[in-house]
Structure 1
Amino acid sequence: MTLPIQFPPPFPIQEYRSRLAALRSFMAERKVDLLIVNQHEHMEYFAGYAPTAAMYQAILIPLDGEPVAVIRALDASVFSETSWLTDYVAFADNEDPIEVASNTIVSLGHGGSAIGVERDSYFFTINRAVAFEGFLPNVRFVDFSDILWLMRQVKSPLELACLQVAAGICDRATMVGFEAAEAGVSEREVLAVMISEALRNGADNAQLVQLVCGPRSGSLHGALGNRILAEGDIVHAEPVPHFRGYTSRMMRPKSIGAPTDEQMLIAEATIRVQDEQFRAMKPGAEAKEVDKILREGMLSAGLRDRYTNVTGYTLGLKHPPRTSDFTRVFLADSDWRLLENQVFHMYTGAGGMAFSETIVVTPEGGRRLTKMERRLFS
């Protein structure tokens, strides 16, 4: 019998304050008096609150003093329930949230300050930037792009614990999905089983499984269809559950009926190359060298005739609209080095079969958080 997944404790206030202290060191270096945070991952990272995207909301973080949230009045109860912050300004739906945020900045004494803005935020659109400039004509706006994405790269023990829970959900959802995936069964029935298992085990998102079957199994971003599984089909399962906003991922293939000898050889060779890549994922390793192991290994083994995509990318806090975090990716020209306790989704595939893991960087090499057996299932 499978034991229940053990959930870690909530993040303590001290962890949030430690994050703020690290952020404020960057603010001081760039002589920023106040930072407007509106990318949802960053709002959750610093405040414990991630809004919907229906209306603009933000966290105002001064160099000194407590942060203040600018939130939709409809969301005030959710904010109070989830955030450790206590200071907020709530706006009604008939108010302009940019104007409310601007007025709040002035009331905090920063109407003529240097203010940092996330120009790479999905929610800091050109129109919103222009509106802020109009409401705050005496402010000097400072670009704070990349900084918050990069400072979230190294995961704390509690963050790793959340990612471990999400990885365990991947394992369980895929296993029950593969138990259900038989000839004559609809791919939608397999998906329903996987989603149900994920939700029972703590997943907090609804769109949490990518399932592609039959001739489309090699299309990793293919849409769900209405296929009735048949002998010879390959089922591609990629659960992407979130737990407290943290997402782990995994890919596994299953053959409906006995796989061919060629499929078995391709799967085994793919896993061998990828395992070699994982072993190289140590602190200080060059990303391009880690990428080279898999990219050139797959090509030289004849498993692929071309390789245009990344071989891995950042995992951690994730909220819509971006489905994947490409702050750090593995490509042939990736000019950065791995850090201990970074977490990545490392993936590859050949012959319509894909394999991937959630990997944490350790001094001994990449350690799998996803634990499901690595093979072509049948």
Structure 2
Amino acid sequence: MGQHPYFAPQEFATRLARLKERLHASGVDAALFDEIEAMTWISGFGSSANRWRCVVIPLEAEPLFLIRALDASVCRQRSWITDVPTFRDWEDPVPVLAESLRARGLAEATIGLDFDSYGTSIARMAALKGALPRARFVNIGAMVAELRLIKSPAEIELLRRAAAIADEALRRAATVCVPGGTQREAAKVAQQTFVEMGGDPYRPGPITAGRGWDFLHGHLGDEPLSAGDVVHIELTPRIHGYSSRVMRCVVLGEPEPERLRATEILAELQDRQIAAMIPGALAEDVDAILRDGVIRAGLRESYDNITGYTLGLYGDAGPRTSDFTRILHPGATWRLEPGMVFHVYASAGGAALSESVLITETGPELLTHLPRTLLINR
């Protein structure tokens, strides 16, 4: 059995027990997972989809991790799953999977999948049905994503460490945002800080410079910075895939009074929003504090994006940069629970602020701790 570098075996045993309880309630005999986040959360290991791979969890029989032969060794090192059937890169993995399921008596089983999985194409589903014609494939939805919403103490510890990295990396990146510097230099400093402080060598997050009022989520540029520029920095460090996030704006020179006012209003509204993030709070009510407040203050005519989303585990090679399993928006009727972690973010009037927030039994806890204001390089 493999040994994970951070989580103890009991962590995975608890996850497996929670998952099997949900699977039993859904009426399936086994479930197949091929999104990297789900595979990693269940097994301790995930790989890219260059070749299709999956984890299968039967209710009764032993689980299996189907993977290309090239990746089998590291899979066995990291995962508690001991049955790792393999295939060569030029071979079709589906017959190998079908044989493994037949060996477990699952050739005629009810098998659950997430029909919205980015890992299962229409062609893949057809191949599965062709290889197992007597099996029944049913939709169990994003079951693992739902289970992942409530973080364990070990997961929360990783998110705390990632938040500390985010704070320090943003502080250091901001110091090189000076006339003659570049966004690329800020990105380099941020990523160096990630690795130096024990984070994963992953991309730093959006870093964008401009002079207008609406340039968040832009592209990294090489033009030298100059007085009057504003650099938007949103950093997304990870430790073993677990990411906390923080966002600030750096002003080169004297900030405009309007931008200062917008930042103060956003900070006050977001403070109120965070204070309302208590167990049992209705998500749409938490969202409305910021959304409606920004519009009432005249900072935006409309607020078309969400104001927060869940944080947690991100796959090294997944297509999603954010986890929208739960998002704060008008009409969000779910309630906050202890153990949830969110990235709450606000932008208007040429300013932007964000924090990583843990919901505890007694209320919200900020994981990120930078000053909640514009960062000014005069």
TM-score, length-scaled by structure 1: 0.95
CA–CA distance in 1 between the matches of 2:40 and 2:314?
A: 10
Q: How far apart are residue 370 of structure 1 and its match?
A: 1.1
Indicate the residue corresponding to 1:366 in structure 2: 364
**Match of residue 345, structure 2, among 344, 347, 359:** 347
**Cα deviations across residues 279-328 of structure 1 (Å, max 9, x unaligned)?**
00011000000001111111111121210110001111112211111111
Residue range with higher mean Cα deviation, 101-110 or 213-222: 213-222
| Aligned-residue RMSD, C-alpha | 1.4
**Cα deviations across residues 333-370 of structure 1 (Å, max 9, x unaligned)?**
11111111101110011122210011111244321111
Indicate the residue corresponding to 2:26 in structure 1: 30
| Kept after mapping to 1: 8 A contact 2:243/2:313 | yes
Amino acid at match of 2:346: T
CA–CA distance in 2 between the matches of 1:14 and 1:195?
A: 32
Structure 2: which 5+ residue stretches go unaligned? Answer: none
Output aligned runs, 1:124-143, within 5 Å: 124-143=120-139
Indicate the residue corresponding to 1:183 in structure 2: 179
| Kept after mapping to 1: 8 A contact 2:32/2:54 | yes
**Cα deviations across residues 87-135 of structure 1 (Å, max 9, x unaligned)?**
2101111210122112211121100111111212110111111110010
Structure 1: which 5+ residue stretches go unaligned? Answer: 1-7
| Kept after mapping to 2: 8 A contact 1:315/1:343 | yes
SS class of match (1:88): coil
The reply on whether 1:215 has 2:222 as its aligned counterpart is no
Amino acid at match of 2:319: P
CA–CA distance in 2 between the matches of 1:220 and 1:366?
A: 26
CA–CA distance in 2 between the matches of 1:220 and 1:347?
A: 12
**Match of residue 236, structure 1, among 225, 232, 241:** 232
| Kept after mapping to 2: 8 A contact 1:287/1:330 | yes
| Kept after mapping to 2: 8 A contact 1:59/1:70 | yes
- Per the alignment, do residues 172 and 128 of structure 1 end up closer, same or farther by CA in structure 2, a change over 3 Å counting? same
SS class of match (1:120): coil
Q: How far apart are residue 217 of structure 1 and its match?
A: 6.7
The reply on whether 1:304 has 2:309 as its aligned counterpart is no
The reply on whether 1:375 has 2:373 as its aligned counterpart is yes
Indicate the residue corresponding to 1:314 in structure 2: 310
- Per the alignment, do residues 65 and 12 of structure 1 end up closer, same or farther by CA in structure 2, a change over 3 Å counting? farther
- Per the alignment, do residues 51 and 217 of structure 1 end up closer, same or farther by CA in structure 2, a change over 3 Å counting? farther
Indicate the residue corresponding to 1:290 in structure 2: 286
Q: How far apart are residue 46 of structure 1 and its match?
A: 0.8
Which 4+ runs in 1 deviate beyond 4 A?
none
SS class of match (2:137): strand
SS class of match (1:119): coil
Indicate the residue corresponding to 2:39 in structure 1: 43
CA–CA distance in 2 between the matches of 1:349 and 1:30?
A: 41
**Cα deviations across residues 201-232 of structure 1 (Å, max 9, x unaligned)?**
12214222210012367322211112211111
Q: How far apart are residue 259 of structure 1 and its match?
A: 1.3
- Per the alignment, do residues 228 and 367 of structure 1 end up closer, same or farther by CA in structure 2, a change over 3 Å counting? same
CA–CA distance in 2 between the matches of 1:116 and 1:254?
A: 48
CA–CA distance in 2 between the matches of 1:366 and 1:16?
A: 27
| Kept after mapping to 2: 8 A contact 1:61/1:68 | yes
Residue range with higher mean Cα deviation, 34-43 or 96-105: 96-105
What number of residue pairs does the alignment pair up? 371
| Kept after mapping to 2: 8 A contact 1:211/1:238 | yes
| Kept after mapping to 2: 8 A contact 1:173/1:194 | yes
CA–CA distance in 2 between the matches of 1:99 and 1:219?
A: 49
CA–CA distance in 2 between the matches of 1:17 and 1:363?
A: 24
| Kept after mapping to 1: 8 A contact 2:178/2:252 | yes
- Per the alignment, do residues 205 and 321 of structure 1 end up closer, same or farther by CA in structure 2, a change over 3 Å counting? farther
TM-score, length-scaled by structure 2: 0.95
Output aligned runs, 1:66-105, within 5 Å: 66-105=62-101
| Kept after mapping to 2: 8 A contact 1:281/1:365 | yes
Indicate the residue corresponding to 1:117 in structure 2: 113
- Per the alignment, do residues 198 and 138 of structure 1 end up closer, same or farther by CA in structure 2, a change over 3 Å counting? same
Residue range with higher mean Cα deviation, 25-34 or 276-285: 25-34
Amino acid at match of 2:331: D
Amino acid at match of 1:255: V
Residue range with higher mean Cα deviation, 308-317 or 96-105: 96-105
| Kept after mapping to 2: 8 A contact 1:40/1:50 | yes
CA–CA distance in 1 between the matches of 2:161 and 2:122?
A: 38
| Kept after mapping to 1: 8 A contact 2:30/2:110 | yes
CA–CA distance in 2 between the matches of 1:341 and 1:218?
A: 33
Percent sequence identity is 40
SS class of match (1:209): coil
